[in-house]
Structure 1
């Protein structure tokens, strides 16, 4: 006799985790997360880390690019991220980004704990703003807020001060809020 409820494969579980990661995100950020997932899988990494998210944000969100100090800084950062993805970041390949804040979840291309925490923080930023969709700047601010994240390490290696970037994002967000109240 066959069981009435079919067994779920680990692929189904990974799909469910992906749905949890994208809950409440705009279509643009769902695409960003999908790009980060593809990059992680292609690079042979077990999880989407904050550097994958940063790379995908830079490639797809003009508002995120505008948060940096000009095109030269974005180009230098993208160059570093590309080098990392083609092998110069081998010490990171097949490892798990872990800030120690939450337990590591194993599985193919689920989010690392810091990346999951950044998604939650981005949702909270959007909720605090009273704006339903999570914007790329919300996610960028959350990614760079964790000094232990791989994204911050990548920024530092590219010569970008993550704290200054965070303050620029905050100033931009405040300017947007001021424009909305006029």
Structure 2
């Protein structure tokens, strides 16, 4: 029996440039691997933006600092855990997409929902604007909160987190990072 989400190397996911240069950081590759494991464990057919958000919060300290400490991050993780054990938010069996007809992309065919595939590409584009360095977790976080139809955005809303505030915190922190200052969320 084949797994529902095929095993993928980073080169299979389109996250390497033609010259073999990585488009995502090693840390972000670990986040994607964690999201893939979570999707498999949850019995989901594709990695969606909520899987990516959950993996970011679990394993990327820089992305986690965007939310600060306290009740907001606890509520957010609570919704994500409920989803992973089958309570609360249920999306199993559906395709995460913002349009009336799901877009089929190469990345989506390889195990990402159309929105998650788009978010991965958007994260790489954000990183390229900073000078071509590999995409980091905060790039992916910024990308998954852009589309109001994303499952990650629904989770954020239920936890009382405004996605526009997340974007503003990231953009403010990245601006300081690009100028060489200390990013303070």
Fold match, TM over 0.5? Answer: yes
* Aligned counterpart, 1:117: 118
The structure with the larger Rg is 1
Q: 1:112 to 1:84 in 2, by over 3 A?
A: same
Q: Distance in 1 between matches of 2:111 and 2:70?
A: 31
Cα distance in 2 for residues equivalent to 1:86 and 1:142: 26
Give the aligned partner of residue 66 of structure 1. Answer: 65
1:69, distance to aligned residue in structure 2 (A): 3.5
User: Which residue does the alignment assign to 1:3?
Assistant: none
- Cα 1:73–1:87, aligned 2, differ >3 Å: closer, same or farther? same
Deviation at 1:70, TM superposition (A): 2.4
- Deviations for 1:98-147, whole angstroms, at most 9, x for unmatched residues? 11286146989700000000000100000000042111100000011111
Q: Indicate yes or no: 2:72 matched with 1:79.
A: no
The verdict on how the C-alpha distance between 1:150 and 1:21 changes in structure 2, with shifts beyond 3 A counting, is: farther
Higher percent of residues as helix: 1
Q: Which residue of 2 aligns with 1:14?
A: 6
- Look up the match of 1:146: 147
- Name the TM-score, length of structure 2 as normaliser: 0.82
Shift of the alpha carbon at 1:84?
Answer: 0.8
Q: Structure 1, residues 20-73: CA drift from partner, whole Å, max 9, x if none? A: 254321111111001101111111111000000000000001111111142332
Question: Aligned partners of 1:107, 1:61: CA distance in 2, in Å?
Answer: 23
Quick check: 1:165 aligned with 2:166? yes
CA contact (8 A) 1:47 1:112 kept: yes
Shift in Å, 1:89 = 4.2
Relative to structure 2, which stretch is displaced further, 110-119 or 22-31? 22-31
Residue aligned with 1:48, SS = coil
Unaligned runs of 5+ residues in structure 2 are 17-22
Could you say which residue in structure 2 is the equivalent of 1:32? 31
TM-score of the pair, normalised by structure 1: 0.84
Following superposition, the deviation at residue 15 of structure 1 comes to 3.9
Does the 8 Å contact 1:22/1:33 carry over to 2? no
User: Where in structure 1 are there 5+ consecutive unaligned residues?
Assistant: 1-8
